[in-house]
Structure 1
Amino acid sequence: MLKLHAVIRQRQFHMDMTAALVRFLRRTPLQNIPGPEPVSWWKGNLGYLYDRHGWSFLDRLDTYSGVARVDGLFGAKLLYVFDPAALQHIVTKEQTSFDPAAWFTESLKMTFGPGLLSAYGEQHRKQRKMLNPVFSIAHMRDMTPIFYEIAHKLRDAISAEIEDGARELNILDWMGRTALELIGQGGLGYSFDSLTKDAINPFGDAIKSFVPAIFTTFGYLRFLTPYVAFIQYISFRRVLLDRVPWAGFQNFLKIVDKLNYMSTSVYEGKRTALAAGDAAVTEQVGRGKDIMSILLKANMSASQDDQLGEADLIGQMVTLLFAATDTTSGALSQILQLLAEHQDVQDKLRDEIRAAKQGDFIGYDDLHTLPFMDAICRETLRLYPPVSFVYRQANQTTSLPLSQPIRGNDGSMLNEITVPKGTMTVVGVRSCNRNKALWGEDALEWKPERWLSSLPDAVINARIPGVYANLMTFFGGSRSCIGFKFSQLEMKIVLSVLIDSFNFHIPEDKGAKIVWNLAGVKFPTVGKDSLKPAFPMIVERLAKA
């Protein structure tokens, strides 16, 4: 196996060098696009996009006029895009010309199975058609009591932790456990975490380990994908993967095995309950109102042409967990950080929450009409999106229109850019959200009040193709985040319970040391050198209003 591995690696090296030589000898229109100078010929600037402390490079890209050239490996040219007109082209108008990167989707397919993130074309259309109604407002309304039950468990658990007075807690850990339980019960109808101090669930532990593991192994998956994706017999494919001589990768496979076992078990349990009738369904976690229960019912009644296969249904489970856990926990931690840094804003939000409460709840409709709560969520997701950029690859040569002309390196004015087939484009989610040409000179300031009045005309007229609040945070088009309403409901319910019950402060000795790391989903650590996700906060229990 080691000899085979060496042969494959040598072949890949020769392919890379051949492609590099072709790129070096052949000029591309992208060479005329302004961009930062490459650090080196063989790696360009690509390392900055994978550097967890690479925020300054993203800030530098923000200074270009909506598009910038980024040099990749062996002279490859990438196009970094945050111009609104170009984004409309990539994300909505010509989205079939810009697919997610093949190595990324194939890696996810090898990991999750054929879920929504790894499907293309007709398979993706069928999955999206079946899933869209599941995330309707009616179903979100049904999930509200379930989410409150989880939020109240979180409140009780934190209260027990600080019973003797204000105390420092790793708030990221609590938000991660809560986000997992929210998508577990609301998405899969399965409980991962009782939200007690010493709760242990092997599947919950696997999910918590999954996102860090997949991002540390994506480089290896990218290398392996071209050689194993074509193998149709999964047993033989697995034989190859089991012999990859890397302990980290083998640990990743063990995590995947646990998640696949969990997904299959949950699927079989739901299918059995549906066959037994409504009474059996309502006895399950989620009481039959979770996404997977609704999806299975809808699939059973769909026409044969629209029905999803068993592999597609099971694939959605791990996809939901992957997409909804770290993004939500990171966003909640970021909001709590900002509220801790702006005590006046925290107090104002608490007043709004307490004025709207009826007993221990705020109803679904009232929760979504709290203007200051909504403003805080929107402004945080604008300035600090969990995902900073998204890759797309041109599957044919096309032209990108620009909102404003740019001056090329040859001095000519460009109103559009020719994008050659195969070009990797980087959709600058964070850059679009922070674009001063749209949001004004205060675009880099966290100002929730900007959402309490009319947005700038430049933002409205730009027609940003995002599905949420004139932002790219949840992307757009047919590959937008299908669960963005689910995520908003989760965050608002958790905040309404926590801010009513506790006051949050940043520890004086650690505040300056907290660093957010650039990654597929950004995460905080205490100190630049630490790799352990954490966010310590001082939590103080408040008297009942």
Structure 2
Amino acid sequence: MASPLPLLPLLLLAAGAYILVHAARSIHAHLTCPLRNLPGPDRGDRVFGHFKLLINDYDLTNRWRATFGTNFVYRGLFNKRELYTADLSALKHILVNDMIYQKPPPMRQTMESLVGNGLTVVEGEEHRRQRKILNPAFSIPATRDLTEIFTQKSVQLRDLWLRQLGHADSQRIDAFAWLRKMTLEVIAEAGFNYHLNALEPSGPPNELVQALEKLIVRETPRETAFRFAQASIPVLRLFPTGVGKAVPAARAEMFRIGGRLLAESKAAAAADLNPFGGKKAARRRDLLSVMVQSNMLDDESVRMSDADVIAQIPANFTAGHDTSSTSSAWLLHALSLNRACQTKLRQELLTVHTDNPSMDELNSLPYLDWVIREAMRAYTPVATTFRVAMQDDVLPLSKPYVDRHGVVRDTIPLRKGTLIRVPIEAVHLDKDIWGPDAHEFKPERWECIPEAAKNIPSAWGNLLTFLAGPRNCIASRFSVVEMKSLLFTLVRAFEIDAAVPAGEIIPTASALHRPRVRSELGKGAQLPLVLRRYVPVDQY
């Protein structure tokens, strides 16, 4: 009987066969890819494609757009073709059909490793179920009730800045650092009835703040590239990055704190419903209470496991305060560069004779609304998001394009697995939509918006800020009223000027465009501003 072949040659043979099959599939996919005839830049690096260029240059796709038009193809990791489209009909199709177009695996895996299977991570029917449960926490009545918290925190921040200013004529501050603290307090109290005292800490550092600081990690470009490679080659997941090593402990700490918050919320809900406890039954509107109350109902479809409830806590903390602080920072930056707009806004705000306006009073101020819409357009906080096709499909186009062979086409066929870049910022700055002054901060444009802007798929304000379709941002109303409260309070109290020359404030190269100073990149995200106490003319 023949002796068995040694194990090592068998392993090498199997590895060689795997590589050959994978290479054959890649070559076949390359030669038959429906995107092969779209215009676009050259192939780039053989392994990284344009990946490294894209994560280091936030403006690269805008330059490509100027060269290749609304629809083009570029190369991602492993030189795989990926689609860029700013066509409004294509974007509407992508955002409305959430069962066909979902978050790509690298994005989902990263988010799940950080925050668990909360609303921002899950897809399909599970997303719809969770959203149905959480909707009451972000409804108009709930936001109206929470406006008092927004105003309280805004007033607290105003008073802290006034104390810093003291008797001086002016004071330079890093507004972004303060806004991060304030928005963290807002989401803690409004979302989970949890008091952080982040603005004026006393005693040892808050455990929740510490866990969040570790959880909101900043990857290096190399770590980002490796994470995307892990999504394509599962065996690479056995080798975590530096960030991947640091996250589990922070995530475990966050979930431990979340479990305690859930237990406290359950106890509070039980006491409210106890007729012998001497308390009137209450309907709490913070996010955690809404989930706990939903779990007390007989309807199984609106119940969540404790693990799913706890998963919403880190997800909402990280998304709620990071995006809100960034948006608010760009608002103040825009006003610091436009004193005429700032003065006009202040005049409107001073017509309200209270420091604690209601949601309805804030929403009755048209210029305040225009300023926020225009800042979200001109300084888009989240510049880009991505979707992946879960099946073969065809994208409709509002405008045809000419392919590499000169053929006019009015659709884009897609193969399952195609990654699509949704260029939010590019749509917001598109001169074909907004006119030749699209790059200018001009709140007055919202008095009569261009007809073309009405075709933007949108959940709010004819903008892609909060996306559209079934996966639009559930907290959009919450976020807008929070920003209105903040501007209302700060602009009435201060004259706000830029602390660095025009053009020095630039966005980070990440998808979330945090502000930073061009000449001080080593200091990370920051927004230096100069504050002066506002004194009405008749008080001089």
8 Å contact kept, 1:184–1:190: yes
- Structure 2: gaps of 5 or more residues: 1-11
Superposed displacement of residue 178, structure 1 = 0.7
8 Å contact kept, 1:62–1:431: no
Superposed displacement of residue 288, structure 1 = 3.4
* Matched residues, number: 516
Alignment of 1:227-238 (within 5 A): none
Q: Name the CA shift for 1:322/1:245 in 2 (closer, same or farther; >3 Å).
A: closer
8 Å contact kept, 1:48–1:57: no
8 Å contact kept, 1:81–1:428: yes
8 Å contact kept, 1:214–1:252: no
Alignment of 1:312-351 (within 5 A): 312-351=308-347
How large is the Cα RMSD of the aligned pairs?
Answer: 3.0
Q: Name the CA shift for 1:418/1:480 in 2 (closer, same or farther; >3 Å).
A: same
Choose from 365, 376, 381 the match for 2:376: 381
Superposed displacement of residue 291, structure 1 = 1.6
TM value normalised by structure 1: 0.87
Superposed displacement of residue 179, structure 1 = 0.9
Task: Give, as a single letter, the amino acid of the residue that structure 2 aligns with 1:177.
Answer: K
Instruction: Tell me which residue corresponds to 2:75.
Output: 71
1:451-471 deviations in Å (ceiling 9; x for gaps):
02x2222222x2x22201111
8 Å contact kept, 1:28–1:420: yes
Is 1:142 aligned to residue 145 of structure 2? yes
Q: Name the CA shift for 1:247/1:85 in 2 (closer, same or farther; >3 Å).
A: closer
Task: Give, as a single letter, the amino acid of the residue that structure 2 aligns with 1:267.
Answer: L
Instruction: Tell me which residue corresponds to 2:425.
Output: 430
Instruction: Tell me which residue corresponds to 1:366.
Output: 361
Alignment of 1:21-32 (within 5 A): 21-22=26-27, 26-32=31-37
Instruction: Tell me which residue corresponds to 2:87.
Output: 83
Is 1:178 aligned to residue 195 of structure 2? no
Instruction: Tell me which residue corresponds to 1:234.
Output: none
Which 10-residue stretch deviates more, 152-161 or 23-32?
23-32
| SS state at 2:360 partner | helix
Superposed displacement of residue 61, structure 1 = 2.0
Superposed displacement of residue 133, structure 1 = 2.3
Superposed displacement of residue 426, structure 1 = 0.8
Alignment of 1:56-455 (within 5 A): 56-61=60-65, 64-92=68-96, 94-165=97-168, 166-196=170-200, 200-213=205-218, 218-223=224-229, 247-277=242-272, 288-301=284-297, 303-356=299-352, 358-452=353-447, 454-455=448-449
| SS state at 1:147 partner | helix
Show structure 1 runs of 4+ deviating over 6 A: 226-229, 279-283
1:141-199 deviations in Å (ceiling 9; x for gaps):
10011211111111111112221422111100011111111111111111223412767
8 Å contact kept, 1:34–1:69: yes
Give the Cα–Cα distance (whole angstroms) in 2 for the partners of residues 184 and 395 of structure 1: 36
8 Å contact kept, 1:155–1:497: yes
Give the Cα–Cα distance (whole angstroms) in 2 for the partners of residues 227 and 48 of structure 1: 22
Q: Name the CA shift for 1:21/1:223 in 2 (closer, same or farther; >3 Å).
A: closer
Q: Please identify the structure whose Cα radius of gyration is greater.
A: 2
Is 1:518 aligned to residue 514 of structure 2? no
Superposed displacement of residue 96, structure 1 = 1.4
Is 1:505 aligned to residue 500 of structure 2? no
Instruction: Tell me which residue corresponds to 1:235.
Output: none
| SS state at 1:301 partner | coil
Q: Name the CA shift for 1:244/1:30 in 2 (closer, same or farther; >3 Å).
A: closer
Instruction: Tell me which residue corresponds to 2:451.
Output: 457
Is 1:485 aligned to residue 477 of structure 2? yes
Which 10-residue stretch deviates more, 23-32 or 465-474?
23-32
Give the Cα–Cα distance (whole angstroms) in 2 for the partners of residues 15 and 318 of structure 1: 43
Superposed displacement of residue 349, structure 1 = 0.8
Q: Name the CA shift for 1:19/1:294 in 2 (closer, same or farther; >3 Å).
A: farther
TM value normalised by structure 2: 0.88
Give the Cα–Cα distance (whole angstroms) in 1 for the partners of residues 345 and 424 of structure 2: 27
8 Å contact kept, 1:91–1:477: yes
8 Å contact kept, 1:23–1:75: no
Identity %: 27
Q: Name the CA shift for 1:456/1:525 in 2 (closer, same or farther; >3 Å).
A: closer
Alignment of 1:460-479 (within 5 A): 460=454, 462=455, 464-479=456-471
1:6-37 deviations in Å (ceiling 9; x for gaps):
x9xx99x9599738843675231211111222
| SS state at 1:40 partner | coil
Q: Name the CA shift for 1:80/1:245 in 2 (closer, same or farther; >3 Å).
A: closer
Choose from 511, 515, 518 the match for 1:527: 518
8 Å contact kept, 1:20–1:74: no
1:414-467 deviations in Å (ceiling 9; x for gaps):
010111111001111111222222222221221110002x2222222x2x2220
Superposed displacement of residue 74, structure 1 = 2.8
| SS state at 1:30 partner | coil
Instruction: Tell me which residue corresponds to 1:540.
Output: 532
| SS state at 2:43 partner | coil
8 Å contact kept, 2:459–2:472: yes
Q: Name the CA shift for 1:287/1:148 in 2 (closer, same or farther; >3 Å).
A: farther
Q: Name the CA shift for 1:248/1:130 in 2 (closer, same or farther; >3 Å).
A: closer
